[in-house]
Structure 1
Amino acid sequence: MSVTAEEGSKAPDFTLQNTEGEQVTLSDFRGDKNVVILFFPLAFSGTCTKELCTTRDNMKLYDSLDAKVIGISIDSFFTLKEFKKAENLNFTLLSDFNKEASKAYGVLNDDYFGMKGVANRASFVVDKQGIIQHREELSDSSNLPDFKVIQKTLAKLN
């Protein structure tokens, strides 16, 4: 049974591998940083590249809002390492290869262009206490998250 992470609820914790193969745990940021979680379907695809490059280009803003940005996809950490390098991404990418975080956040899509178990494009803002303050899941993966709402949510937390 999947748990859907809603606004106002405690963010499901996860431990996933980053692009260096190291474990990163969401709760490690509790009390220290607000966290923006960006689930994206697949590395190297058009809209995903646009989303993550837009995020890259706005990192000074996220830093000023005391936010840690984390991109998550079901790609292997090897693929994400190459994607991060190719696009010069300046924030953490995590591999949800076993789809545990995507399930916990209720964003796993069972039919993504015929592929089973790909995360929908979704964004979450988790405050320093580990509570979800913003949730957006997009049914059409050609759309981008509402970055303005993410930034406004972060601004209210500071």
Structure 2
Amino acid sequence: MVSVGQKAPDFTLKTIGQSGPTDFSLSSLKGKNVVLLFFPLVNTPVCFDELCGVRDSMAEYQKLNAEVVALSVDSPFAQKLWADANHYTFTMVSDFNKEVSKAYGAQHEDLIGLKGVAKRSAFVIDREGVLRYVWVSDSPKVKPDFTEIQACLKGLN
């Protein structure tokens, strides 16, 4: 599992851009603060509630020079359909091969019989790529404390 003060593991994952599938790398956001959110699966009620809250707070994250990236093990196509239906404007990336959630220590061994689903987690990464906030929940029903996340971001500016 990763911890505060260490360099955030870089990754390159698939997302769906304007012209179809494309690569997204965490390192492309160097120079910006990043809120990296892992969520179990699209089309689930807690994930919907969590990410709609993020969507509704995007102006605050922009003021804090923060990019929001949401990650799940769903296909990028399923993520795109869900993002479009819910008007999410932040980046969603697919950890379909379950490597990034494992590298961050944010992977369920078994969640309702599904192996390797991402744990609901939140990470704040500073402009230099260093982890400044780490929260990983074993319960998929517990959402991150976004007040704490925003306080962390304010401390970075």
- TM-score computed with the length of structure 2 as normaliser: 0.96
1:34 Cα deviation from its structure 2 partner: 0.4
Once the two structures are TM-superposed, the CA of residue 143 in structure 1 deviates from its matched residue by 1.2
* 1:135 corresponds to: 134
Q: For 1:119, what is the secondary structure of its paired residue?
A: coil
Structure 1 stretches of at least 4 aligned residues deviating more than 3 Å after TM superposition: none
> Residue 89 of structure 1: SS of its match in structure 2?
coil
Cα distance in 2 for residues equivalent to 1:29 and 1:19: 17
1:18 Cα offset (Å) = 1.1
Deviation at 1:28, TM superposition (A): 1.4
Return the alpha-carbon distance in structure 1 between the equivalents of residues 16 and 118 of structure 2: 18
In the alignment, what sits opposite 1:77? 76
Task: Give the % identical residues.
Answer: 44
- Give the match's secondary structure for 2:92: strand
CA distance in 2, matches of 1:135, 1:122: 8
Q: Which residue of 1 aligns with 2:35?
A: 36
2:47 partner SS: helix
Alpha-carbon distance between aligned partners in 2 of 1:93 and 1:138, rounded to the nearest angstrom = 20
- Residue of structure 2 in register with 1:90 after alignment: 89
| 2:48 corresponds to 1:49 | yes
Structure 2: how far apart are the matches of 1:139 and 1:109? 8
Which residue of 2 is the match for residue 10 of structure 1? 7
SS in 2 for 1:108: coil
* Aligned mates of 2:43, 2:16 — CA distance in 1: 15
In structure 1, C-alpha distance between the alignment counterparts of 2:96 and 2:81, rounded to whole Å: 15
Q: Secondary structure at the match of 1:130?
A: coil
Shift of 1:29: 1.1
Structure 1's unaligned 5+ residue stretches are: none
